[in-house]
């Protein structure tokens, strides 16, 4: 949010052309920024992390979700508190606040950001949205192909 605020303070920046993008943790952060900063016009989260923590802990044993699982195994009486606290940081909840146009990406073989967690954030997303599905990719997503998708997406919103 502070980066967007700083960019908007520069006279050369068009306030009607603010976009955020990132992959993995950056994708989760781009969802959060789009949900918290209404001046963001476009969000492009790629294989976003930090979405639907509870689901992720139920379907994958990869890190960092494993840290939550280990804690919950040892603190069985704190499970509800753990997931209620994590909701404050969950991309699903930020997604529900955003009105920016969005292009998500998801990889169906991703063990770090399981597809159902990405689809959860996508389904909660309040603004106009599209999603690019990479069927045979893991956490690397569409890489250069996704960059081209984002360029095309932006070109459809802001023709040069």
Rounded to whole angstroms, how far apart are CA atoms 137 and 120? 19
- Name the β-bridge partners of 19: 42
Q: Is-catalytic flag, 63?
A: no
Q: Is-catalytic flag, 24?
A: yes
Q: Is-catalytic flag, 14?
A: no
- Is residue 69 within 8 A of residue 57, CB to CB? The reply is yes
Catalytic residue, candidates 24, 30, 98, 105: 24
- Is residue 26 within 8 A of residue 33, CB to CB? The reply is no
Catalytic residue, candidates 21, 90, 107, 110: 110
H helices, E strands: number in the chain: 8, 4
Rounded to whole angstroms, how far apart are CA atoms 53 and 1? 22
- Is residue 93 within 8 A of residue 87, CB to CB? The reply is yes
**Torsion angle of alpha carbons 130, 100, 142, 152, nearest 10°?**
80
Which active-site residues does the annotation give? Answer: 24, 110, 139
């Amino acid at each position: 949010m502070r980066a967007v605020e700083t960019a908007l303070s520069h006279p050369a920046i068009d306030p009607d052309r603010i976009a955020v993008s990132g992959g993995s943790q950056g994708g989760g952060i781009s969802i959060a920024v789009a949900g918290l900063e209404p001046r963001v016009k476009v969000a492009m989260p790629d294989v976003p992390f930090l979405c639907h923590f509870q689901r992720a802990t139920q379907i994958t044993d990869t890190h960092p979700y494993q840290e939550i699982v280990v804690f919950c195994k040892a603190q069985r009486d704190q499970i509800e508190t753990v997931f209620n606290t994590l909701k404050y940081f969950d991309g699903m909840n930020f997604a529900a606040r955003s009105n920016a146009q969005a292009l998500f990406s998801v990889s169906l073989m991703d063990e770090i950001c399981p597809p159902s967690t990405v689809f959860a954030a996508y389904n909660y997303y309040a603004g106009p949205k599209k999603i690019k599905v990479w069927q045979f990719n893991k956490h690397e997503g569409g890489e250069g192909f996704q960059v081209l998708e984002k360029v095309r997406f932006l070109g459809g919103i802001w023709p040069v």
